[in-house]
A and B are shown apart, each in its own frame.
Chain A
Amino acid sequence: MSLRVVWIYPDLLSTYGDHGNVLILERRARMRGIEVETVHVRSDERVPLQGDIYLMGGGEDRPQILAAQRLRNDGGLNKAVAAGATVLAVCAGYQIIGQEFGDDQDRPMPGLGLIEARSGRGQVRGVGEIVAEVDTQLGLPTLTGFENHQGVTRLGPSARPLARTVVGVGNGDGTEGAFYGKIVGTYLHGPALVRNPGLADLLIAWATGGPVRQLPPSWADRLREERLAATRPAPTG
């Protein structure tokens, strides 16, 4: 079995250790005997259509606008998704896969429309640890990560929130992220998969078309437990 991972525009959208998601997918697939081929697509290159998992990271305002324009002109990601590809988009990338997002003046900019979501600029910047309980439909344990964004996202009826926030801002309405088909968007920025190996495994399962076997515990699991213990509100009473 093999897996083609496509990292979209690391030259434009890569600010917070986004490479971590590539590394985690590679590691967890290879440990299961799945061959992995990773393609880094620069912003002046065409997005290949044959990828299994497409990853998109975070970025400043200007790079976000440029990346969205180029991906719309390119059309490759939309075609790949129509053919059944899996997508993980974080932070600026999450906003880009929606229908629209706000620029630095909060003027609406067109997104890729891969998921029914509209993002704008919020009043305050959400910076800090985030903890959120994942939609039971996905069967994943609690999400833990770090967010750093000023976005507010509202979902349309076809998209479902990825999780309900326990700590942190997320979409700004008590929910965090979104999913639709095999597309996941989240405000957990950068290496979101490091502390959420379950989410990494879900993406691998979607892309390979079957369940994946359990892996032995890793240091990332201990990190996950430590961060959850440090971040969750103390029990009252």
Chain B
Amino acid sequence: MDRKGIMSQLPLRAQLATALGKGAATLSRVTGRGDGSVIGGRIGLVLEPQLLTLLAKQRRLALVTGTNGKTTTTRLISAALTELGEVATNAFGANMPAGHVSALAGAPKAEYAVLEVDEKYVPMVLGETGASVVVLLNLSRDQMDRATEVWLLAQRWRNALEGSETHVVANADDPVVTWGAATARHVTWVSAGQRWKEDSWCCPECGNHLHRDDPHWECKECGFRRPQPTWRLEDGTVVDPWDRRLELKLQLPGRANRANAAITLATAAAFGLDPIRALPRLHQVTSVAGRYTVVERHGCQVRLLLAKNPAGWLESFDVLEPAPGPVALSVNAQGPDGRDTSWLWDVDYRVLQGRPVFVTGERRLDLAARLEVDEVPFQMVDNVDEAVFRARAGHLDVIANYTAFQQIRAAYGRVE
């Protein structure tokens, strides 16, 4: 396929919309109003509502969605597909159509695109782009004051995938994801594990209590059950459909990232890329938009972990330095975080006993009340630097939710 000409192949109005959108993005960047990845796309879409469809034409796209791990998995899949050619991607996590337009317009010659998509936007973006692959990671409660409830989200995925020719890569260990993917014609099932189960004790098909014998699950009432996966994650190894054992040596920490990597390898295979060729690319990824970044502060290695919801916090606890390594928790409740802090009560903090714990952020009192009940001793601090001073350790892990994380990142110079 000739990639050089994709811009000149666009209708005139789409070319103009793309150019003006890019101009606005540049302006937004140089005036310091943001990274420009949303404003440019927004302007482009106003001028040409079909822009996303036009920009997606003649490319092979993967859409990546789920409650947790979208940004990281998008990054991993992009890294893998680089083995095949240039890849367009919304690396800044701008995961709605304006962000997708910017990503595609920014890489006109890329034959491949990997787009992180907000869970709610999957039907629309799939419809507009006709993506060849859709990756469904997990579904759990998240910012419930504005997000849609999980069964309803899965229902929308079902509707969007019914009759679609797209190739779905989905986590078979998550019953709600499985239900959301079950109407698709072509599915690669991956056994990627499911740590957080509080949103899938009941059958999404009929509502009866699921019989679970991890990783297997099934409904004894209606027969809805875990499909047989062709890929599976076994501790640090991914077993592929040809029974090859691919050993993961990721620099990204934790079980959740091994799950993301397993799904990435299955996605690479869906693009015709041998996972053995993809694997070294995954090992090169060190941090994703500030996540897992280590910053040196006054002789202390401060590691930043982003966790936005109960399932994310559970996975973050998994990657902490062993006790008595200190940890700082920071929670805000601004719009992007969800204004409701009730979710703090869905997380079991007792695993933090036995190490110094610091609480900070705009809703530190919510954290204090929560830790008090779990009998986890803590110190309240004004910011992460104060935790660094008080911890007097060589390493400090920081777990923060969305805006709290961005504030810390900004204070440390927008670290990547």
Q: Which residues of A contact B (CB under 8 A)?
A: 10-12, 14-20, 23-24, 27, 42-44, 60, 62-63, 66, 127-129, 146, 148, 189-191, 194, 218-220, 222-223, 226
Q: Which among B150, B152, B340 is the interface contact of A16 at CB below 8 angstroms?
A: B340
Contact sample, A vs B, 6 pairs, CB 8 Å cutoff: A27-B373, A44-B209, A60-B150, A60-B151, A129-B339, A219-B371
Chain B residues 330 to 346 lying within 8 A of chain A, measured CB to CB, are 339-346
In the bound complex, CA of A189 to CA of B149 (Å): 15
In the bound complex, CA of A17 to CA of B346 (Å): 5
Q: Which residue of B lies closest to A146 (CB)?
A: B340
In the bound complex, CA of A112 to CA of B368 (Å): 37
Say if the beta carbon of B207 comes within 8 Å of chain A: yes
Say if the beta carbon of B145 comes within 8 Å of chain A: yes
Shortest distance between the CB of B23 and any CB in chain A (Å): 38
In the bound complex, CA of A129 to CA of B341 (Å): 11
Say if the beta carbon of B250 comes within 8 Å of chain A: no
Residues of A within 8 A of B372 (CB): 218-220
Contact B369 A63 (CB under 8 A): no
Most B CB contacts (10 A, CB to CB) among A27, A219, A223, A226 go to A219
Supply 17 further A-B pairs (C-beta < 8 A) apart from A10-B201, A43-B208, A190-B340: A11-B202, A12-B207, A15-B144, A16-B141, A20-B373, A23-B373, A24-B373, A42-B201, A43-B202, A44-B209, A60-B151, A127-B145, A148-B144, A191-B345, A194-B369, A218-B369, A219-B369
In the bound complex, CA of A223 to CA of B345 (Å): 14
Residues of B within 8 A of A23 (CB): 345, 373-374
What are the interface flags for B179-212 relative to A under an 8 Å C-beta threshold, 1 for contact and 0 otherwise?
0000000000000000000110110000111000
Contact A15 B141 (CB under 8 A): yes
Say if the beta carbon of B315 comes within 8 Å of chain A: no
In the bound complex, CA of A220 to CA of B366 (Å): 8
Contact B344 A14 (CB under 8 A): no
Contact A222 B144 (CB under 8 A): no
In the bound complex, CA of A129 to CA of B369 (Å): 18
Contact A66 B207 (CB under 8 A): yes
In the bound complex, CA of A55 to CA of B158 (Å): 34
What are the interface flags for B206-223 relative to A under an 8 Å C-beta threshold, 1 for contact and 0 otherwise?
011100000000000000
In the A-B complex, the 5 residue pairs with the closest CB atoms: A17-B345, A20-B345, A190-B342, A11-B201, A17-B342
In the bound complex, CA of A66 to CA of B144 (Å): 21
Contact A16 B201 (CB under 8 A): no
Contact A15 B345 (CB under 8 A): no
Shortest distance between the CB of A13 and any CB in chain B (Å): 10
In the bound complex, CA of A219 to CA of B368 (Å): 6
Contact A17 B343 (CB under 8 A): yes
Shortest distance between the CB of B137 and any CB in chain A (Å): 20
Q: Which residue of B lies closest to A16 (CB)?
A: B342
What are the interface flags for B320-361 relative to A under an 8 Å C-beta threshold, 1 for contact and 0 otherwise?
000000000000000000011111111000000000000000
Residues of A within 8 A of B411 (CB): none
In the bound complex, CA of A114 to CA of B55 (Å): 58
Contact B339 A14 (CB under 8 A): no
Q: Which residue of B lies closest to A128 (CB)?
A: B339
Say if the beta carbon of B365 comes within 8 Å of chain A: yes
Contact A16 B339 (CB under 8 A): no
Shortest distance between the CB of B218 and any CB in chain A (Å): 14
Residues of A within 8 A of B344 (CB): 17
Known: A11-B202, A17-B344, A23-B345. A222 touches B209 (CB 8 A): no
Contact B152 A60 (CB under 8 A): yes
In the bound complex, CA of A190 to CA of B346 (Å): 10
Shortest distance between the CB of A72 and any CB in chain B (Å): 15
Shortest distance between the CB of A31 and any CB in chain B (Å): 11
In the bound complex, CA of A44 to CA of B203 (Å): 12
In the bound complex, CA of A15 to CA of B344 (Å): 12
Contact A189 B342 (CB under 8 A): yes
Q: Which residue of A lies closest to B368 (CB)?
A: A219
Known: A43-B209, A191-B345. A12 touches B365 (CB 8 A): no
Q: Which residue of A lies closest to B149 (CB)?
A: A60
Shortest distance between the CB of A43 and any CB in chain B (Å): 5
Q: Which residue of A lies closest to B199 (CB)?
A: A15
Residues of B within 8 A of A11 (CB): 201-202, 209
Q: Which among B151, B202, B343, B368 is the interface contact of A222 at CB below 8 angstroms?
A: B368
Residues of B within 8 A of A15 (CB): 141, 144, 149, 199
Contact B368 A20 (CB under 8 A): no
What are the interface flags for B283-319 relative to A under an 8 Å C-beta threshold, 1 for contact and 0 otherwise?
0000000000000000000000000000000000000
In the bound complex, CA of A109 to CA of B354 (Å): 49
Known: A15-B141, A60-B152, A62-B207. A226 touches B365 (CB 8 A): yes
Q: Which residue of B lies closest to A225 (CB)?
A: B365
Shortest distance between the CB of A76 and any CB in chain B (Å): 16
Most A CB contacts (10 A, CB to CB) among B145, B202, B343, B366 go to B202
Shortest distance between the CB of B97 and any CB in chain A (Å): 24
Known: A66-B207, A148-B144, A219-B368. A20 touches B151 (CB 8 A): no
In the bound complex, CA of A63 to CA of B203 (Å): 10
Residues of B within 8 A of A218 (CB): 369, 372
Residues of A within 8 A of B208 (CB): 43-44
Shortest distance between the CB of B412 and any CB in chain A (Å): 27
Residues of B within 8 A of A148 (CB): 144-145, 340
In the bound complex, CA of A62 to CA of B205 (Å): 11
Residues of A within 8 A of B345 (CB): 17-20, 23, 190-191, 194
Chain B residues 90 to 148 lying within 8 A of chain A, measured CB to CB, are 141, 144-146
Residues of A within 8 A of B201 (CB): 10-12, 42
